[in-house]
């Protein structure tokens, strides 16, 4: 009986052990399955986060380079994002050889390297900026003076409606073609057209605010802003360029108003114009360089306007622009600036300045390889006229060397849409003579 009881106890123990082992195996399997499920959940979370990061950092789905809202194609990418950070930029390098002036040395300049940084906070709030490095370094060298680092524009856009959006910050002034859209693949010529440098003083940016938008199904685009005015103490015989304040602790005693309208009656044709008006004296009193007495800078109301048009079809490109500037009280301003030493005693600020250009280009590669070719090869010609001494105030003498004609003949090759290689000859003439012709080579890119 005792033996039987012992055997029964042993059998019961084995049964319990077997039952416990059977229960342990599913527990381990369940723990392993839980671990696998947790790892799968972590992978899904990381994948979702990676997708969000990629969406916020990457280019828009449509890679085509299209300008939007008064911004160049590289700076316009941020508007195509769902949300987050956009990075773009452009650059250009220029080689120049001068004819007719032996004292002028050839130059090879890392002209501009530019970074666009934008951030789309929401569908309605967008920050956009352009940071430009000119001439490779901010230090002077044995060969040349300082380069510069500048913020060309920095704005907050409030996207309200297609036809009415608000913008505030350091604004590019909407005038002409290249002041807002100045990436080298999007204008012909190694150098920017002279009338859009000396009459319209690109690159021209000022602090301000205003509205922009599209009308009539995007066939009309407008911008209208109030900005700080010019500083007339920077005007000279060469034009208005020295009066730009560029957002640098800008004097705002005098403000100005500027607006631009562009109309596309067809997909191939664009016509437009812009106007600017504002006083430029900024309520300043400067010291006379000879007597040490205070000299009041006149109000110098400044008006600047331009009209432009462009037509592109079948590989043919036609573009033209005419612009004029008026400085009221230019005689009084000249007297004041001569007294303060801001201009040379022989210089005169003109009452009227004008300029314009017409250009033609044609992409010849489709003729050779058909419409499927992705590269372009375009010979071009541009005629430019610039006169910053067109009308001189009574009793003053103008400078004939500031009246210049340019004939620009060149060739442009784009292996891809983002990259351009250009070469041209600028044949120059002046009422005052003594201007050199140039042979130029340029390389540019945008992304």
DSSP code of 184? G
Calculate Rg over the CA atoms of the chain: 32
Sequence-separated (6 or more) residues with CB below 8 Å from residue 394: 331
DSSP code of 298? P
Q: pLDDT tens, 168-190?
A: 999 999 999 999 999 999 999 99
DSSP code of 200? S
Q: What is the pLDDT of residue 55?
A: 58
Picking from 311, 276, 272, 280, the residue whose alpha carbon sits closest to that of residue 298 is 280
Instruction: Go through the chain and tell me how many residues it has.
Output: 447
Beta-bridged to residue 98, according to DSSP, are 438
Q: What is the pLDDT of residue 46?
A: 82
Q: pLDDT tens, 111-147?
A: 999 999 999 999 999 999 999 999 999 988 989 999 9
Q: pTM value?
A: 0.84
Report the run of H or E that residue 408 belongs to, with start and end.
strand 403-416
- Determine the Cα–Cα distance for residues 23 and 70; give it in Å rounded to an integer: 72
Q: What is the pLDDT of residue 11?
A: 42
Decide: 84 and 56 in contact? Cβ < 8 Å: yes
Q: Show the low-confidence residues of the chain (pLDDT under 50).
A: 1-24, 58-62
- Measured CA angle at 368 (ends 366, 373), to 5 deg: 45
């Amino acid at each position: 009986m005792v033996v039987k009881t012992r055997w029964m106890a042993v059998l019961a123990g084995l049964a319990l052990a077997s039952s416990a082992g059977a229960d342990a195996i599913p527990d381990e399997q369940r723990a392993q399955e839980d671990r696998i499920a947790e790892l799968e959940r972590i992978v899904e979370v990381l994948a979702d986060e990676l997708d969000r990061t990629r969406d916020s950092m990457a280019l828009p789905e449509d890679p085509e380079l299209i300008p939007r809202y008064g911004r160049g194609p590289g700076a316009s990418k941020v508007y195509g994002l769902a949300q987050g950070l956009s990075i773009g930029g452009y650059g250009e390098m220029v080689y120049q050889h001068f004819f007719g002036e032996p004292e002028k040395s050839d130059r090879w300049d890392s002209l501009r390297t530019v970074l666009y940084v934008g951030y789309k906070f929401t569908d309605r709030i967008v920050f956009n900026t352009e940071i430009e490095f000119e001439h490779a370094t901010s230090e002077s060298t044995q060969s040349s003076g300082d380069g510069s680092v500048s913020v060309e524009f920095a704005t907050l856009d409030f996207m309200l409606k297609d036809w009415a959006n608000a913008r505030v910050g350091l604004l590019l002034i909407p005038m002409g073609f290249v002041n807002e859209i100045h990436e080298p693949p999007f204008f012909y010529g190694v150098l920017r057209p002279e009338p859009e440098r000396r009459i319209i003083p690109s690159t021209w940016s000022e602090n301000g605010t205003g509205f922009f938008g599209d009308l009539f199904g995007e066939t009309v685009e407008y911008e209208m802003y109030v900005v700080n005015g010019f500083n007339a103490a920077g005007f000279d015989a060469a034009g208005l360029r020295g009066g730009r304040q560029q957002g640098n602790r800008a004097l705002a005693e005098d403000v100005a108003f500027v607006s631009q309208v562009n109309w596309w009656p067809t997909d191939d044709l664009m016509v437009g114009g812009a106007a600017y008006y504002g006083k430029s004296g900024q309520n300043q009193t400067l010291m006379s360089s000879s007597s040490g007495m205070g000299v009041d800078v006149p109000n110098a109301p400044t008006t600047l306007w331009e009209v432009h048009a462009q037509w592109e079809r079948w590989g043919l490109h036609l573009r033209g622009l005419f612009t004029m500037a008026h400085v009221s009280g230019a005689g009084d301003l000249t007297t004041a600036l001569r007294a303060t030493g801001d201009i040379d005693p022989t210089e005169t600020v003109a009452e009227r300045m004008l300029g314009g250009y017409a250009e033609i280009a044609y992409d010849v590669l489709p003729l050779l390889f058909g419409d499927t070719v992705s590269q372009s090869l375009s010979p071009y010609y541009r005629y430019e006229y610039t006169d910053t001494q067109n009308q001189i105030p009574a009793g003053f003498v103008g400078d004939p060397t500031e009246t210049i004609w340019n004939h620009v003949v060149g060739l442009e090759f784009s292996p891809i849409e983002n990259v351009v290689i250009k070469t041209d000859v600028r044949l120059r003439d002046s009422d005052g003579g003594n201007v050199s012709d140039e042979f130029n080579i340029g390389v540019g890119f945008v992304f």
